[in-house]
Structure formats: structure tokens, C-alpha cells
Structure 1
Amino acid sequence: MDTAARWIGRGEALERLGIKTQTLYAYVSRGRIAARPDPANPRRSLYAVDDIGRLTSRRSEADAGMPADLQLLTTPAVRGVVTIASSVSVIAGGRLLYRGRDAVDLAQTETIEDVARLLWDARSENPFAGLGPRLDGAGGVNARTRLFGALGRRAHEDRSSAGRDATSLKVEAASVLNEVMDAVAGPGPRLYFHQQLGRGWKLLERDSPLICRAVVLAADIGSCPSAVATRVSAAGGASLAGAALAGLVATAGSTEQADLIAAIAHVHEARRDPAGVSKRRAAEGTLPGFSDPLWPDGDPRGPALLAASALPADLAAVAREGEAASGRTPTLNLALALLARRLDLPRDAAADLMLIGRLVGLLGHALDQVIDGSPIQASLRYVGPRPTAQ
């Protein structure tokens, strides 16, 4: 088979698999099907024939006629895939839902603490009540070092989550998040988390609600490798901090984070020539921040955050010209990168905001797994070289 024949367009891929578009994008995001830009049209993607063949040979007919949203929740198992039940979040109907509530709506009205309580199913109690600063806070040269330092220390100190009651676990989750926020933002008076972060970054008080919106929108993303890593660790008996640390490490090395880093670089470059840089990158198929396989119809979080950000003309032009060049609306990644520039935060602060937000959701996954999750049954099957005769 020649190189061109090994890649096919979306329509043919959907026909061969017998699925809907959103399910195809979910397979791509989970690494089940490789995708690459179409050389003839960078706005479109091509999909690996070999990967599609492996999936079609293993798929059942259980999804026939099922709505795409339900397919994402009930996709038949394939080699290397373990299905894990979650009640934390899901993408459905083009919206991101946190325990059934629209994340975009929540970001407009709720604090980080409020959304944490929602994701942790702690709305009838307040696990943050009475928490204070830790005197020997974690140090580090930048926010990310302090974040991972504080979380790693708690992973070492805290006991196993196995067999513990839900109330004490939720208080522990709040304590972990509180300590991490203190480490990232630095010591100071007891404020809402977004106010602490704003104070640590020396923002005007009127701008700190934008930090809240960004963190809330980044808190979770439904099914992703970092959530799986967290849940597997929690099911194995790790502490809440240890399970969340496993997921956060996966997040830091994910394609999502890589796209965010690329979006940060794009904003810095395109700010000087928004139209020219955006057109060139789109033609090369390297324009970040305008495409995400989880959002075939556009990421609603990006426009929502940008609408509240009051960008200056040069930054607004980066979003506008990129949308014109790609034919797609900005994702949350681009919105985070633009917001960080608008607030004059450190260069990588957009990536730090993503990790801070995701920690909230990962603690929710750890709690959900320990309190209500079913055992995760998975095993490794050795396929390496056979032992040689002695």
C-alpha cells in the first residue's frame, strides 16, 4: 500500500467504522486512531487506515443508531481500552457538563471553591470551612514547581484513601487544594482562591474574576488520560493527592498541554502581525488554538472566556485573524494564552492556569472513584520475546 492509500478522509473513515463524527474525534483524542492534516487542505484531517482496520475488526454492532453523545459513554471496548464509569463531567451536545451543569454557565457566577464542591459532590457541606495556611509552604522558582512540590509532599504525607468515609475524604481534598493554592500564590490573608492567585500575580482586584473563570473552565474535560491515571491510582489505594498527582503529570505531558504551549508561542508571534502569521500557520497546518478533536463544532469555553476578557486591539486581532484563517472559533487554549497576555502574567502562566484548574477536577475523579467507583479490572498481557532455552 502506498503512503497516500494509508490515509483516508473523514467521510470514508466514518463509513468504515459506522460511527458518528464525535465518536471518531473521541477515538483520535484517546490515541486509538492516528490523524494528520490533509496536505491538500490543512483545515481537514486524514485518518490512518491501519488503525481503523483494527477497530472495525473488534467493534460490535451495539452502537448502531445510537446518538453520538451516548456512543461516547458506551463505546465497545477495544484492545488496550478499559471502560471506567464517571459521574464527574462529560461532553454532550457540544457542551461541557460538570455533574450535569454547564461549565460555561458556572464560570460566569461560581467561585473555584463552589465548582470544586460541585465536582466533589460536596454541595451539602463545606469542606473548606476552617482551613488555614500551612506555615512551612512549598518553595520553588515558579508557580509550576511550587504546585508540583506541594502536591508531591501531600502525596507522600497523606495516608491511603482506601476504606475511608466520604466526609473525611472531601475535607482532605479541600486541604490539598488549599495547600496547593497557597504554594502557587504565596502567603497572605484568607481570600477566595481566585483572589489569592490574583494577589500572587499582582493583578488589579477587578481582574481577579477572570482568573476564576479560567480555572473553572479548565477544571475538567470528561474522559481523558489524566482522569484515567487518577482513577487507576485511586483504585489502587493511593492518597487523594497521590492519585491527583498521577493525573496532573499526565496532563502536563498531554497533547492538550502541548497545544496550549504552542498557542502561547503563537500569541507572542502573531501579536506583531496577526493576519500574516495566522495565514502562514494555517497554510502550514500548524495554527494552534483553533482545533480540538473533542470539539468538532467548536470549543464553547474559548469564546466564553474571550467575551469576558476585554482584550486590547492587538490581542483581539490574534483571535479574529486566526478564526478567519482556520474557519474555526478559538479553543480554551488560545483564550488562556490571550488572557495571560492581557493580564501581563508570566509567559507560561496560561499553562499553569490549566494545571491549577485541572487539579480541581482530578481531585473530583479521585473522590468519585474511591467513594462510588467500581473496581477497575485491567491486566497487562505479555507479548514480548519468548524466553530462550537454557
Structure 2
Amino acid sequence: MDNRLTTREAAELLGVKPATVYAYVSRGQLSSRRDPVGRGSTFDVAEVEALARRNRREAAAPAAGELSVRTGLTLIEPDRYWFRGVDAVALAQRYAYEEVAEWLWTGRLPHGARLTAPPHLLAAARRAVAALPEHSGPIDRLRVATAAAAAADPLRFDLAPEAVLGTARCLIPTLVGALPPAGAPGGGAEAPGDGAEAPGDGAEAPGDGAEAPGDGAGGPDRLARQLWARLTPRPAEPAAVEILDLALALLTDHDLAASTLAVRVAASAHAHPYACVSAGLGVLEGPLHGAAGALAHRMLAEVLERGGAAPVVADLLRAGRRVPGLGHRLYEGEDPRAGALFARLAQLPQAAAALAAARDVVAVTARHDGRLHANVDLALAVLTVSCGMAAEAGETVFAVSRTAGWIAHALEEYGERPLRMRPSGQYTGPRPPQPMP
């Protein structure tokens, strides 16, 4: 009897009710033997374990027609997500964006990692961005900067892992450095403050001289500090820049979002990393993927202007529109990225009004639909509204951050069978042969 299980034990191992165990027997999926001592049946351990493994594989398999892609980067569960098996929120709270990016790329966490833009790439990207019309959006600028940097890099076709990593470490700071300073033509919407405007040459905004390089996310050589000067002309207050760094780290990857899938398709064709990032940026510009942050920003600004969320939410619902910043198909409750950002924003005095407005939106909407919880777009909107950033700033933060994740996915895809992202079309046209037109 050592290798036999009772009905109750077999049901527990399979995660089903005892009646289902007998259904497996009747369908020939399990064999049973009458217990000579008791009144029930017994089951072979190995056979039950094999069925349990088969059931788990079938449960994890994608539905018919659904694309499934192997990845060891991000796992999303109903209430949290993980980067290479490590709690992503805890990782982002402890490490800077550059270090989280290195973890995704390499599985290592080099302390004090930095990303530096090569002068020739940065110069090419700035020239290209400067030629755009003043009304160009942030994704326009990032796409053009990516293409210009690619054209300036003769080694872009080298897909060896170390070469791709080198490209990643250069491209992200190049994208940030190519953006116009906030307050300059084409930069942030808020007028420059007293001496807070960043220099016109695109260098980071000057600090007060108190910070040494590398002192937290606010250090002048950190990406969050450099990006801050492109998002708002306000002085780079260390606590606020730390929150921006947290947002960058939290948004680095989120499994196979639409833009990430586009990146993997490009990488499957062995497109170079710049082209892969361009593919991601192209999808991100779609209104169903990248525009939610700007919509949430404008909603919060209106809530603050009108003194409450109720009339704003009512107008949105009356127009048949969704309330931006709420709900996420992958999380049953609040988006864990939003929760982490809200907790830090609560410690920022100037964010109090925008944070209260966001909570008012959630409370008012809950009376209409209690299943809708805050997502990361709403938390980003609190940051952008409270720090004097333009409505599109959240989109910029998202795109810059996600570039690291896109390159991590490209690295994975380069190691797979080429051109495996080739689904078959389901032809629905007229049956041939048809007469020649």
C-alpha cells in the first residue's frame, strides 16, 4: 500500500473533489483498485502524479489561436509581479532604474550602474530631434532620436549579447539627452521658473552644488535626474526625483504588452536593437496603449479645477468614455505599481492635492463599479500633475523606462529560432480561381 493513495489523498494531489477522481476513472484517465481492507478505492501514486502534471500543463497552455511566447523575464500574478523571480516592487524600491535594467538584461545587479550616452550618438539624435516641428509629441521625438542614433552606429547589426547590451546602455541615455529641456520650445508645458530651466544644450538642470555624483537617483549622473530636466522646469527636488526613479524602475517590463510583442516580432527577424525599439515605440503611440497617462493627467487636473471627482466622472460616463487610470486586466485589485507609487507620493507635500483627487476618483467610481481599482497610469498622473509636468510626461516616462524591457526581450528572442513569430493567416476572401480583373 506504500505506492497507493486513497481517494481523498488522490483528490488533494489533483486539486479536485473526490467525485472528480471517479470521473477520471470512468474516462480511463486513472485506474483504480478496490481497497481490500476499507470500502473505497486506491490509486497508483505515479499515475496520479502524472495526471496532475498533465493537468497543470493543460491549464497553463494558451487558448486555441492564442500566441504563447517563452520568457524568463517577468511573471505577473493576480496581485503582484516578478522580475526574474524577484518581487519587482521590492526590487524597484531598493535599486535605481539603471540597476533594475541590468538585472533584467543580465540577471546581475551591479551596484551603482550608470548609463552614458556616447557623444556622437547624442549629437546625431539631438540634430534630428531639433529638426522636428515644435508641436511634435514625445514619442515622435523618441522615434526620431532612435532612428538617428541607429544611423550613427555602424555596429548596430552586431547581435552578439555583449554588443546588444552595449547598445542598450548607450541608447537609453541618448534618448533622454535628445529630448528638449522643459520650458524650451517643444519641451514641458509649464513656464520656466527662476533659474530652473535646463541649459539649452540639453545638459541636465544645474543642481545646487550639494549633491555629489551618484548620491541616489537625484545625483546628476543618474538617468532620473537627467530625465527630470526634460519633464519639468521646476528644481530637481531629491524626494521627487527619487519617485520618478521609482516609476522608471517599476515600469521597466510588464510581460508581453502589445509594444513588447512588436519588439519580439522584430527581434525574431533579427532586426537590430534600434529597430526593435522603434517597433515598440510605434505601437506605444497607439491610443489604446500609450495615451492613458495623458488622459489620466488631464482628468486629475480637471478634478482639481472643479473641486471634486463626481462631476468629472459623471461627464466621462455620460459621454460613454472609460474613466482613465482605473482597472487592469491582469490584476484583481489595485495595480501593485500604483500602490508603490502612491505610498511614496504620500510623503511628497506638493503631491497632496493631486493624490487626494486620485483617491476621490477611485471612491466615486467604486460606487459605479467596485471592480475598478487604480492602475499605474493614475499614479503617474499624480506625479506629473503635482510636479508641473505636461500631460504627455507620463508617456515619456513609460517609453524611456520600457526601452530597457524591450531590449531584454530582444536579447531573449535573438536566442530563439529565427522567424518563429509567423502565425498563419485565416483566409476569408473569395475562393479561387476567380476571373482575371
Q: Could you state the TM-score of these two structures normalised by the residue count of structure 2? A: 0.66
- CA shift at 1:215, angstroms? 1.4
Matches within 5 A, 1:172-183: 172-183=167-178
Paired with 2:86 and 2:242, the residues of 1 have a C-alpha distance of 20
Contact kept? 2:82, 2:88, Cα under 8 Å: yes
- CA shift at 1:170, angstroms? 0.6
- CA shift at 1:297, angstroms? 2.1
| Alignment size in residue pairs | 324
Match of 1:360 in 2: 404
Letter in 2 for 1:193: L
Contact kept? 1:85, 1:374, Cα under 8 Å: no
1:192 has 2:180 as partner: no
Contact kept? 2:260, 2:409, Cα under 8 Å: yes
Match of 1:319 in 2: 358
- CA shift at 1:304, angstroms? 1.2
- CA shift at 1:158, angstroms? 4.8
Query: For each residue in 1:248-304, what CA deviation from the matched residue of structure 2 results, as whole angstroms up to 9, or x when unmatched?
Result: 211221523233332122112111232323552575463221212122222111121
Gaps spanning 5+ residues in structure 1: where?
Answer: 1-60
Letter in 2 for 1:135: A
- CA shift at 1:231, angstroms? 0.7
Paired with 2:311 and 2:241, the residues of 1 have a C-alpha distance of 31
- Determine helix, strand or coil for the equivalent of 1:117: helix
- CA shift at 1:204, angstroms? 2.1
Computed over aligned residues only, the root mean square deviation of the Cα atoms, in angstroms, reads 3.1
Paired with 2:229 and 2:157, the residues of 1 have a C-alpha distance of 37
Contact kept? 2:125, 2:149, Cα under 8 Å: no
Match of 1:116 in 2: 101
Match of 1:54 in 2: none
Instruction: Find the structure with the greater CA-based Rg.
Output: 2
Letter in 2 for 1:350: G
- CA shift at 1:131, angstroms? 5.0
- CA shift at 1:161, angstroms? 6.9
Match of 1:74 in 2: 61
Match of 2:236 in 1: 204
1:92 has 2:77 as partner: yes
Paired with 2:113 and 2:272, the residues of 1 have a C-alpha distance of 17
* Larger RCO: 1 or 2 (CA < 8 Å, sep 6+): 1
Query: For each residue in 1:12-55, what CA deviation from the matched residue of structure 2 results, as whole angstroms up to 9, or x when unmatched?
Result: xxxxxxxxxxxxxxxxxxxxxxxxxxxxxxxxxxxxxxxxxxxx
Match of 2:209 in 1: none
Paired with 1:356 and 1:301, the residues of 2 have a C-alpha distance of 17
Aligned with 2:92 (options 98, 104, 107): 107
Paired with 2:397 and 2:91, the residues of 1 have a C-alpha distance of 17
1:351 has 2:391 as partner: no
Matches within 5 A, 1:1-390: 66=56, 74-78=61-65, 81-121=66-106, 123=108, 131-133=117-119, 134-138=122-126, 139-140=129-130, 141=134, 143-158=138-153, 164-184=159-179, 187-188=202-203, 191-200=221-230, 201-202=232-233, 203-206=235-238, 207-253=240-286, 255-271=288-304, 272-277=306-311, 279-280=313-314, 284=318, 286-309=322-345, 310=348, 312-325=351-364, 326=366, 327=370, 328-370=372-414, 372-375=415-418, 376-381=420-425, 382-385=427-430, 386-390=432-436
Contact kept? 1:230, 1:246, Cα under 8 Å: yes
Paired with 1:331 and 1:65, the residues of 2 have a C-alpha distance of 33
Contact kept? 1:90, 1:97, Cα under 8 Å: yes
- Determine helix, strand or coil for the equivalent of 1:91: strand
